[in-house]
Amino acid sequence: MSEIVIGVDGGGSKTRVMVGTADGEELASVEGPGSALSISGAAHSASVIAELVNRALQEIAQPGAVFPRVLYCGVSGTGREENAKALHAALDEKELAEEVVIDSDGLIALYDAFEDRSGILLVAGTGSIAYGRSPSGTLVRCGGWGPSFGDEGGGGWIGRRALSIVAASSDGREPATALLFPILAATQCEDVQDLIQWAAKADARTFASLVPAVFSTASSGDPRASALVTLAAEELVLHVRALARQLFGDERAAVSVALSGGLMERGSVLRKRLEQRLKSAVPGAQVRAEEVLPARGALRAAARRIHLPTSP
């Protein structure tokens, strides 16, 4: 058998591990809890990843019979060097592979979408961020500033805005909205006043749990929920337009755009509005229909590291 490599996509809500060969064959795939460093520390993230790696290896061989060559991890929250080093050290202690590589979850998704070709990847899940690679190979990111003052158009941002709409409607500052009862059901609150305590304990991932209620209410025709989805689409489009101008010179230049993340699932009301808005805001955008799988990008990057060991 060819040398074994492993790709990991560690996000806030789930972690996906893929095992394959250096020749490109995919052998196993498992999913489990989130392993983002923004949710917990390096030790916990490493434990989640190690458990899933061992589960995936058990699907292809007896425990201990295979020792992978490369473990390539794209994990949310490793953008800061100290975080990446902490996770690298924690995974090294687990002795899961000969070599451990830490990257960002966005970059492994970009690699799955385009490999080394130019293009723009928009990721919208709990948060939001976009990555772009120019025809000359320049790599730039846009957004991803975190839940405190960024992540516009992401799930946490949408959830917070939805609560603001419900509160304003309750006060009479805005018209009545059909969002009230779906939000109360999603939060398991009996009264709108109970949302204060619920929100005080919530993190970005918890706020993002309100997105299905927002999307379903928008699809049912509620004006305020619909306006919120439209605003989220507009915010996400701005990420793409900014990178198109910076990397391709003009938003009218032909550029391949890939969409990834839980909010960009095919058929979602947000994705539909985003694609429609891109036609006028970024006329050169050519949206890829293919699904982006960050874990697969990590797996391919791991295999490439064997064939081109000096590549980043």
Residue 172's pLDDT band (cuts 50, 70, 90) = very high
Average of per-residue pLDDT values in the chain: 90
**Percent of the chain having pLDDT more than 70?**
96
Residue 312's pLDDT band (cuts 50, 70, 90) = very low
Q: Which fold has domain 114-281?
A: Nucleotidyltransferase; domain 5 (3.30.420)
Residue 153's pLDDT band (cuts 50, 70, 90) = very high
How far is residue 210's CA from residue 205's CA, in Å, rounded to a whole number?
A: 9
In the predicted model, is pLDDT for residue 63 greater than 70? no
pTM exceeds cut of 0.75: yes
**Percent of the chain having pLDDT more than 90?**
63
In the predicted model, is pLDDT for residue 309 greater than 60? no
> Looking at residue 204, what is its pLDDT?
87
4-103+293-307, superfamily in CATH? ATPase, nucleotide binding domain (3.30.420.40)
> Looking at residue 65, what is its pLDDT?
64
Which of 70-74, 76-80, 181-185, 254-258 has the weakest average pLDDT?
76-80
pLDDT digits (tens, 9 = 90+) for 194-208: 999 999 999 888 999
Equal CATH topology for 4-103+293-307 and 114-281: yes
Domain boundaries, the chain: 4-103+293-307, 114-281
- Listed residue (270, 152, 174, 171) closest to 224, CA to CA: 174
In the predicted model, is pLDDT for residue 311 greater than 50? no
Mean pLDDT of the region 99-104: 90
How far is residue 271's CA from residue 283's CA, in Å, rounded to a whole number?
A: 17
**For 20-24, which contacts have Cβ atoms below 8 Å and span 24 or more sequence positions?**
20/299, 20/303, 21/303, 22/69, 22/302, 22/303, 22/306, 22/307, 23/303, 24/300, 24/303
Greatest CA separation found in the chain?
A: 68
> Looking at residue 62, what is its pLDDT?
58
